[in-house]
Amino acid sequence: MKRLFSNLTFQVITAIILGVVVGAYFKGFTSTAKTISDTFIKLITMLIVPIIFCTIVLGIAGVDDMKKVGRVGGKAILYFEIMTTFALIIGLIVANVLKPGAGFINHPTVAANADKLAVYEKAAADMHWGEFLTHIVPSNIFNAFSTGDILQVLFFAILFGYGISKMGEAGKSIVSGIDKISKVFFNIMKLVMKLAPIGAFGGMAYTVGTYGISTLQPMLHLLGAVYLTMFLFIFIVLNIVCRIYKFSLWHYLKYIKDEILLVLGTSSSESALPSMIEKMEKYGCSKSVVGLVIPTGYSFNLDGTTIYMAMSVIFLAQVFHIDLSIEQQLVIIGILMLTSKGAAAVTGGGFIVLTSTLAAIKIIPIEGVAILLGIDRFMSEARAITNLIGNGIATIVVAKSEGEFVAVEE
């Protein structure tokens, strides 16, 4: 019994259940729950940038052939593009078959969320997608670290690792020092992860207490369609990928169950990023592959976010009785393939990207986004979990393609 209570999985599940109960029956606790959740996520966020930097630098500095770095990066980007395209297509198919927006009655959140929508509209108008590539290059590396911009830190870490690799023997002392610093941060992460049940409890109590289960009723069709699509993507599309590369989806999911539960409680895939880096190495992927694929995937391989945005566009078209032709839906796929890549580089990226996409296609009223704001928190768990699972599988696929995967023993 003592062993059960000390198990992290049991603790997180219990915390999530308690969070639902407290959120439903103790509304006055909501603000405190938000403070608990935000504080835990800050603890994790505090570690993300240094861990990513150290992991990438150590991975690249330890590679003698720099062509390998380019090859691994190229394979990762190609895989990301293929999988996000599948995610877009399956999202569109399910939305067209189930028609979650058909017969939808105008929801009061359209008026209630008018102020929030105005913020997203302004942010979308200010975005210039042509500047996305220039954004990756930091004008100040210290600012990139202080703001936690993962893309910019990723770019600088690759260059820093390359610089060390060119130093030969003289660079080994630097590598040794960074390796020791990396172990310090991972030790801190292990301490922070002991607080995961508290963070999951706060996140779930805040979500239920703020939005309430009753707010889901008018949107159950969309909510159910999104969760079904995520399920199909994971257990059909990703399962096929696992079979092709000869590893078990179930074994992998069991291995990262603690991270999945953490993301479920906090609604943030970033909360599990540091532990995913460590676990993917222990699972059998080489340090260099993990260092490149995991951080890059958090910016470019957002399968769950992609599915959600594709389905949201079709849902809103159905709400406003707009019959989109196949040609128009193909255009939407093309636009989302580009705009979805910028989601991670922008605060509140999902809604801003969705708003900018609607503005680009000029077919669906932008104010329809306000309908989605009220239930977004309940959908974020599905998005974040799908993103998490997809990035881990991408890492295994690239590692196996490079011959740098050694299966762990049961």
66-75 residue pLDDT tens: 677 778 888 9
- Give the whole-angstrom CA distance, residue 291 versus residue 52: 7
Using DSSP's 3-state secondary structure scheme, residue 367 falls into helix
Beta-carbon count within 10 A of 237 CB: 17
Does the structure show a pLDDT above 80 at 6? no
Mean pLDDT of the chain: 80
Residue 105: is it exposed, middle or buried by C-beta count within 10 angstroms (0-12/13-18/19+)? exposed
Q: How many CB atoms lie within 10 A of CB 409?
A: 5
Tell me the mean pLDDT in the region 139-161. Answer: 84
pLDDT at 336 over 90: no
Report the Cα 308 to chain-centroid distance in Å. Answer: 12
- Which residue stretches of 62-131 are H helix? 66-98, 109-112, 114-126
Res. 328 pLDDT band, cuts 50 70 90: confident
- Proportion of the chain in helix, strand, coil states, percent, rounded to 5: 85, 0, 15
- Which residue segments constitute the domains of the chain, with CATH numbers given? 2-401 (1.10.3860.10)
CB 277 within 8 A of CB 294: yes
pLDDT value at 114 more than 60:
no
What average pLDDT does this structure show over 47-67?
79
Mean pLDDT, residues 248-274 taken together: 87
Average pLDDT over residues 351-355: 67
Percent of the chain past pLDDT 90, that is, above it, reads 19
- Provide the pLDDT for residue 115: 52
Q: What is the mean pLDDT of residues 383-405?
A: 92
- Helices 257-266 and 8-25, packing angle to 10 deg: 20
At 285, is the pLDDT very low, low, confident or very high (cuts 50, 70, 90)? Answer: very high
Q: Over the stretch 213-234, which tens digit does the pLDDT of each residue have?
A: 665 666 778 888 999 999 999 9
As a dihedral over the C-alpha atoms of residue 387, residue 388, residue 393, residue 394, rounded to 10 degrees, the angle is 60
pLDDT of residue 242 exceeding 70, the answer is yes
Q: Does residue 25 sit in helix, strand or coil?
A: helix
Strands (E), 360-403: none
Residue 2 predicted with pLDDT over 90: no
* Rounded CA separation 407/410 (Å): 9
pLDDT on residue 111: 44
- Cα distances from 103 to residues 80, 126, 318, 319, 329, in angstroms, run 35, 34, 8, 7, 21
Q: Is the pLDDT of residue 110 over 50?
A: no
The pTM of the full predicted model, rounded to 2 decimals, is 0.78
| Close Cβ partners of 201 (under 8 Å, ≥ 6 residues apart) | 15, 16, 18, 19, 22, 33, 36, 265
Candidates 93, 101, 92, 98; CA nearest to 318 is 101
Could you tell me the pLDDT band of residue 363, with boundaries at 50, 70 and 90?
A: confident
- Range scoring the smallest mean pLDDT among 174-178, 285-289, 320-324, 352-356: 352-356
Q: What are phi and psi of 369, to 5 degrees?
A: -60, -30
Rounded mean pLDDT, 191-208: 85
pLDDT of residue 211: 67
pLDDT for 230 equals: 94
